[in-house]
Amino acid sequence: MSLQPKEILSEKEIQQGLKMVIWDGLAAEVMTSFTGSAFLVALALLLGASNVQIGLLAALPMITNVSQLISIWLVRRYNNRKMIAVYGAYLARVPLIIIGIFVWQLPHTSFNLLLFFLLFYYFFGSVAGPAWNSWMKDLVPERLLGTYFSRRTRYTQTLDVVLSLLLALLLDYVKLHHPQRELDVYAWFFIMAGIVGVVGGYLLSKAPEPRSQLSGMNTFALLKLPLRNANFRTLLLFNSAWVFAINIAIPFFMVFMMKSLKLPISYIIVLTVISQLFSIFTIRIWGIFSDRYSNKSIIALSAPIYIICIIGWCFVGFYKQAYLNITLLVLIHIFSGIATSGINLSLTNIGLKLAPRADAIVYLSVKNIVTAIFSSLGPLLGGVLADYFTNIKLSVLVQWSSPGMDKAIRLVALHEWNFLFLIGALLALLSLELLMRVKEVGEVQKDIVKRIMRTSIRNNLKEYFIIGNIINLHEQVKALIKFRKRNEGRPAGVRKKGPAG
């Protein structure tokens, strides 16, 4: 196994390397599926974790991103990104096996022990991350960034969908028929995740690395470069504000469904799968348009959709009929999947695009570290706010009283988790103002992209119908309102007929 970079890569080596990166992505996705957010939160709750501890658990991956400074130093010291990424992957994935063994052998494992070993998992993963990002920037042709990573994400999410469903059904079966073995199931989830993750590290080692050209500046001077770049600094401000806002709410969606709605984990996984399916259906479309036009425009289109989804969580549990709440959850997950696929892809690509090639690892690491700080503050604040709002309720009622009727309708009912969701949505909406100040090479205005996408969707309806409905929705509503107003202003006998005749 050679971990040394090469001066020149042939087209065959590049294509082989891109395949290996996809295989490593699939192995990493297996690892994530076994220890994903739903299973990790369920295990944490099983071990007695509080709201603040859940917030800390969600913040841990972001807190450890500070270790990316170590990655920068290592890359500049050895100029071997492949070695750092591969060894970092190995060291990150072994702790998962250790967690599984502890949970299996010690049924009364504490939450703090779980947190301790997850610290190493996230720490070494953060060390590997910047080296991997910089390596990929040089390995993947820039013209194919959006297309390639959207394809890789589509493959990994498809695998996650199938695997998550199977694991959820297995877990629900064990909880129903053998509840005393539930912890053992989680233990084997972690053991298998660690083993497959190590295999993924080996597959990654098969991908070649083109030798990077590093600037001669010292590390501390380099770290100041991204902050001196006004455009990149604006991107940092937007990205930080965005992740801070949404992470106040996101880590507690699972907790809300498990504790307040009492949903079985299989229901939660199915909802997650629905979100991932719609993400898979649309990410290739987002990728094509981000390559052709601009990532900023894609974010401007998809971020408002996601904010509406967060607000939608405030109304989950609002209805007495369970099927109405489930229907609302399904709709939220559908549009969340569509929106997040565009947001995540574009945020990754715009960071890669604005980072100079020679100092890409520094720019990307500074971006990850700065946004990680704000990402970690979000769930920590969310955990504190969840405890604060535990015994606080806000209801807005409309009451109609008459001799024949006495009716009260709830318009708003906020309590505990709902406050978090509303606060997160409002802050996310405010953060979009910062996006407008980011300048991207080849940028196309949002309205132009929207018009082009709408035209393309109309010409390729079968492939693009999902995003097409989103983009056209507001225009359809406006047309309907105008149609009604026009008819209301005419005598009854001369009103135009509607589409139905």
Q: According to the 3-state scheme, what is the secondary structure of 419-433?
A: HHHHHHHHHHHHHHH
Which of 336, 24, 255 minimizes the C-alpha distance to 159? 24
Tens of pLDDT along the chain (501 residues) come to 677 878 788 888 888 889 999 999 999 999 988 987 788 888 888 888 888 888 899 888 888 878 878 887 888 788 888 999 999 999 999 999 999 998 888 767 788 888 999 999 999 998 998 888 888 888 888 777 778 888 888 888 888 888 888 998 898 888 888 888 888 899 999 999 999 999 999 999 999 888 876 665 666 677 777 888 888 888 889 999 999 999 999 989 988 998 888 888 889 988 988 998 888 788 878 877 777 767 888 888 889 999 999 999 988 887 778 888 899 999 999 999 999 988 888 887 887 777 776 667 678 778 878 888 898 899 999 988 888 888 887 777 777 777 777 776 666 677 778 888 999 999 999 998 888 888 776 444 445 445 544 444 444 434 444 444 444 444 444 454 454 555 555 544 444 333 333
Give bridge partners of residue 280 from the DSSP assignment.
Answer: none
* Cα 486 from Cα 183, distance rounded (Å): 64
> Residue 393 phi/psi, 5° resolution?
-135, 145
- Indicate whether this model's pTM tops 0.85: no
**Alpha helices (H) in 355-491, listed in sequence order:** 360-388, 417-435, 446-459, 461-488
Which of 125, 118, 112, 106 minimizes the C-alpha distance to 37? 118
Cβ(278)–Cβ(466) under 8 Å? yes
Cβ(153)–Cβ(341) under 8 Å? yes
* Cα 346 from Cα 242, distance rounded (Å): 13
Q: What is the pLDDT of residue 433?
A: 86
Task: Determine how β-strand 393-402 pairs with β-strand 405-415.
Answer: antiparallel
Q: What is the pLDDT of residue 447?
A: 52
DSSP state of 403: T
The CA-atom distances, in angstroms, between 378 and each of 111, 243, 339, 375 are 21, 8, 20, 5
The CA-atom distances, in angstroms, between 116 and each of 120, 183, 399 are 7, 18, 53
Q: Say which CATH superfamily domain 11-388 falls into.
A: MFS general substrate transporter like domains (1.20.1250.20)
Structure tokens at 324: 């109405």
Which of 27, 25, 129 minimizes the C-alpha distance to 84? 129
DSSP state of 256: I
DSSP state of 409: E
Q: What is the pLDDT of residue 358?
A: 66
Domain boundaries, the chain: 11-388, 460-501
Give bridge partners of residue 6 from the DSSP assignment.
Answer: 210
Residue 54 CB neighbour total at 10 angstroms: 24
Structure tokens at 472: 């056209």
H/E stretch holding 359? none
Residue recorded with tokens 């590093």: 214
Cβ(98)–Cβ(52) under 8 Å? no
* Cα 169 from Cα 166, distance rounded (Å): 5
At 317, the amino acid letter reads G
Which of 249, 265, 262 minimizes the C-alpha distance to 317? 262
